Amino acid sequence: MTGALPQQLFQLLKTQKYHIVGTHSAVKRCRWLYESLVHNRPCYKQQFYGIQSHRCIQMTPTVAQCNLRCMFCWRIQSEDLHETTWNELAPPKWDTPETIIEECVKAQKRLVSGYKANPKTNPNKYREATQPKHVAISLAGEPTLYPQLGELIEQFTQKRFTTFLVSNGTKPEALTKLNKEPTQLYISLCAPDETTFKKTCRPQTPNAWEKLNQTLALLSTFTCLTVLRLTLTRHLNLKNPEQYAKLITKANPTYVEPKAYMHVGFSRLRLEFENMPSHKEIQEFATKLAKETSYNILQEAPESHVVLLSRLKKPKKLDQN
């Protein structure tokens, strides 16, 4: 073990350019940080919501803890190393939010510093990137397994960060206990029914489908912006839009994001290239969702195979000045 991580996993994560923070958290450079700094191509979240890609920290407080084994997940899972337990291991002691935030910001500044010498780097964006303003709590693992998640979000907010929290929705009790809501809450909805959910997401804890539905039912009680993300995989869960529509109606989120599975990372051990839908397929599925609900298609990002639906006439842009 290295801190809370098995030695084999620790070394593999470092090889994949994860920056391990404390004993159970991590930061990793997002592809779109590079694209924004060097090629002036921001990610779709900047297009849709106004976050600044070059000022975004992609992190997790639970790099090795998750209660699902989603087939489409590009992160490493214990079975990929022929292990059976480390995804469920809680660390011997949880790090404090203060420690996580301080070390995450340091790690982000270190990884950004490597772009200073690149002649293609936009100098103004580089200066801004050394002062991050947004955090995506989404890198790996399930963040609601971190017992001080509300305090973590609260302290990021006090430091004037906007926060996106991405959860698989299987711990509604953790979400209801948040003493501070994120700027935007993502819930993954990756199946239209329980049978497909078990096949696609492979839950490791009992009653996960029931728990997810509890989360969907309480989503409208949040005051922050809310999103249902549908990661759609051909021959697996890209089906039955009318059943997805019923779940969307129950949750009543601000936005819905149908997005294609991407054949990258460790998902290539579980799925084939042919499982990756085209953007046209995602467009067609989004059109069916819009027909079955009162949501409208607002925008799309073909390079990321994602479409944005909402009842709003246009997305609410975040202020990151």
pLDDT in tens, the chain (321 residues): 344 566 777 777 777 788 888 888 999 988 889 899 999 998 999 999 999 999 999 999 998 888 999 999 987 776 656 555 545 556 668 999 999 999 999 999 998 998 888 999 999 999 999 999 999 998 888 999 999 999 999 999 999 999 999 999 999 999 999 999 999 999 999 999 999 999 999 998 899 999 999 999 999 999 999 999 999 999 999 999 999 999 999 999 999 999 999 998 888 889 999 999 999 999 999 999 999 998 999 999 999 999 999 998 888 877 656
How many Cβ atoms sit within 10 Å of the Cβ of residue 313? Answer: 7
Strands (E), the chain: 18-21, 25-28, 56-60, 134-137, 162-167, 184-188, 225-232, 255-260, 296-301, 306-310
In the prediction, which pLDDT does 98 show? 95
> Which one-letter amino acid corresponds to residue 270?
R
Q: Is 225 helix (H, G, I), strand (E, B) or coil?
A: strand
In the prediction, which pLDDT does 161 show? 95
CATH topology of domain 7-310: TIM Barrel (3.20.20)
Q: Domain spans of the chain?
A: 7-310
Task: For residues 87 and 312, give the distance between their C-alpha atoms in angstroms, rounded to a whole number.
Answer: 38
In the prediction, which pLDDT does 298 show? 95
* CA torsion angle 170 176 178 179 (round to 10): 180
In the prediction, which pLDDT does 79 show? 66
In the prediction, which pLDDT does 137 show? 95
In the prediction, which pLDDT does 1 show? 39
Q: Are strands 162-167 and 134-137 parallel, antiparallel or unpaired?
A: parallel
In the prediction, which pLDDT does 263 show? 92
**Lookup: tokens for 87:** 């995804």
